[in-house]
Chains A and B, each alone.
Chain A
Amino acid sequence: MQQAILSDDEKIKPIFLQSINEPPLHSKNDAFGVYYNGYRRRLAEFLSNDYPVLRNILGDESFGHVVENYINICPSKNYNARWYSSGLVDFMRNHAPWREERVAIDVAQFEKCLADSFDAKDVECLNISALQQIDPHQWPELRFRFHPSVFLHKLAAETTTIYETHGENFLENTTIITNSEGVIFWRKNNKCLYRKVNDIEYLSLMEAFSEMKFKDICSMVSYQQNCNDIEGFMSSLLVQWFNDSLITEVVI
């Protein structure tokens, strides 16, 4: 039965239909169609619900095409339908013609990050007072651990705007985008949040995620950006990270 549902091979279904009874008011084929069509409709609904802006920018026909291909090539392997749609971004990256469509992929990535942030593991975040309890002489040695809901991505420029406008006027206004924008996603008080980050903050966050020591992040930023007040600049970033509830642990 599973093969008959998954496959488009016209030879498989008739073999399966031989094993079932004739229904009273319609055909075996129609009765089996409840399962065959239901499977595709259900998965398409999951994807449509999780990627509303991607659907808007691609249009129903094109979105339907990517969904149909994804369902045919990638049957669900997880017991929880929640995780089925998370594979769509990688699918688009790895399959023509979508792998050429950077903006569409990045809009999908944006929506996936919000979904992943939404139900990421709960871990208590530290506030800035945690830093005040540490001897300032030790600050250069500090490393940081981030909340599981934090995701950082370099996306096509204007991805955030496209998301915020639900993809309205996307076709008219968008040409080939070669620039990028950094975006951080996280959850605070059970609400999913995001904001654009500039190149320096993006780089600092990347290094902080890899648990680079604070002094090394400062050196790296100082090297990258000819900044006179590196301590002040980095302190303000750190305060923002704490205030945003991004940090769960400070390791010396």
Chain B
Amino acid sequence: MGFPYIGCGLGLRPTYYSDILNNSVDVDWFEIISENYMVPGGNPLAMLERVREKYPLVMHGVSLSIASTDPVNLDYLEELKSLANRIEPMWISDHLAWTGIEGVNLHDLLPIPYTQEALHHIAEKIRIVQDYLERPILIENPSTYISFKESEMDEADFLNEICEQENCSLLLDINNIYVSAFNHNFDAVTYLNKIQPANVVQMHIAGHTNYGTHIIDTHDQSVCDDVWALMEIASKRFPNASPMLERDDNFPPFIEIKSEFDKMRKTHLSARDRK
């Protein structure tokens, strides 16, 4: 596919702009939420350009709605492409999910049944998106809280098949695998072992909230021990995938998030070495 290994990344969030811009932060690259910068102008884009001067960026979207039965939103794609042309990201990613139909947006990453019909539908839409953007994209496995009776295959097989059919790659979210494995009672390591290593370009790691009966992917906590352990396994299996730490709420001081990032880097690099 030609995506390079770019080391370890951190989510760029406005609360950390001054820490990142006023200091020399030892982070290999930053990931942005694309939609936060798909605005006409002002401070978000000004900050982004300053960060871009110092670091490589990757773009991660939440509104592509690749699994929706609505047609691909070309206005959205045009804005996405325009942002990509502006900041020249290493790659662009979004989720295996839908956000709404008939023009409505629920601002959530909604699950799909893993059927052949869904696979062909999504593969076709990925083809349209990649043609429009003139670049391959990465698709991320979502956290899910329900599963459908009509599914004909598991998520790992579905993702492998999508990659094979449409020449796209994976952003494998390790926390999402853990969350979905708990919520649907499947084995997370078996899932990891089914994913074709050549397809995985990036990994996410994040915190979640465990309610005992289910886990929600909240990104508002530190990464838990089980997810660190899963990440170690993933880093051995996918040594060429660049890991990235996400945090989207309940932000700690930057020194704490940097410390967690350093732990991720150490865990990842030592697992790679031991492969």
Residues of A within 8 A of B107 (CB): 39, 42-43, 46, 76, 81, 84
Contact partner, A190, options B42, B105, B212, Cβ 8 Å:
B42
Is A25 at the interface (CB under 8 A from chain B)?
A: yes
B38 touches A80 (CB 8 A): yes
Which positions 32-70 of chain A face chain B at CB distance < 8 Å? 32, 34-35, 38-39, 42-43, 46
- What is the total number of residues of chain B having a CB less than 8 Å from a CB of chain A? 39
Nearest CB in chain A: distance from B92 CB, A = 15
A19 touches B43 (CB 8 A): no
Known pairs A26-B213, A76-B105; A31 contacts B42 (CB<8 A): no
A122 touches B149 (CB 8 A): no
Nearest CB in chain B: distance from A41 CB, A = 10
Contact partner, B63, options A43, A79, A122, Cβ 8 Å:
A79
Which positions 118-149 of chain A face chain B at CB distance < 8 Å? 118-123, 148-149
Residues of A within 8 A of B102 (CB): 2
Q: How far is the CA of A79 from the CA of B83 in the complex (A)?
A: 15
B147 touches A20 (CB 8 A): yes
Is A99 at the interface (CB under 8 A from chain B)?
A: no
Is B7 at the interface (CB under 8 A from chain A)?
A: no
A20 touches B106 (CB 8 A): no
- What is the total number of residues of chain A having a CB less than 8 Å from a CB of chain B? 43
Residue of B whose beta carbon sits closest to that of A77: B103
Is B41 at the interface (CB under 8 A from chain A)?
A: yes
Q: How far is the CA of A223 from the CA of B183 in the complex (A)?
A: 73
Q: How far is the CA of A108 from the CA of B121 in the complex (A)?
A: 42
Is B104 at the interface (CB under 8 A from chain A)?
A: yes
B183 touches A23 (CB 8 A): yes
B42 touches A79 (CB 8 A): no
Q: How far is the CA of A42 from the CA of B109 in the complex (A)?
A: 12
A25 touches B213 (CB 8 A): yes
Which positions 146-181 of chain B face chain A at CB distance < 8 Å? 146-150
Nearest CB in chain A: distance from B274 CB, A = 33
Known pairs A34-B145, A77-B103, A119-B40; A26 contacts B110 (CB<8 A): no
Nearest CB in chain B: distance from A16 CB, A = 9
A31 touches B183 (CB 8 A): yes
Is A232 at the interface (CB under 8 A from chain B)?
A: no
B146 touches A31 (CB 8 A): yes
Q: How far is the CA of A159 from the CA of B43 in the complex (A)?
A: 26
Residue of B whose beta carbon sits closest to that of A25: B213
Choose among B36, B40, B103, B184 the residue with the greatest number of A CB atoms under 10 Å from its CB.
B40
Q: What sequence of 0s and 1s flags, for each residue 197-218 of chain B, a beta carbon within 8 Å of any chain A beta carbon?
A: 0000000000000001110100
A78 touches B108 (CB 8 A): no
Is A21 at the interface (CB under 8 A from chain B)?
A: yes
Nearest CB in chain B: distance from A176 CB, A = 36
A23 touches B184 (CB 8 A): yes
Is A220 at the interface (CB under 8 A from chain B)?
A: no
Nearest CB in chain A: distance from B29 CB, A = 24
Is B189 at the interface (CB under 8 A from chain A)?
A: no
Residues of A within 8 A of B103 (CB): 77
A42 touches B108 (CB 8 A): yes
Contact partner, A1, options B42, B65, B110, B184, Cβ 8 Å:
B110
Residues of A within 8 A of B150 (CB): 19
List 8 contacting pairs A-B, 8 Å CB cutoff, sorted by A: A6-B106, A24-B184, A25-B213, A26-B213, A77-B103, A119-B40, A122-B46, A190-B43
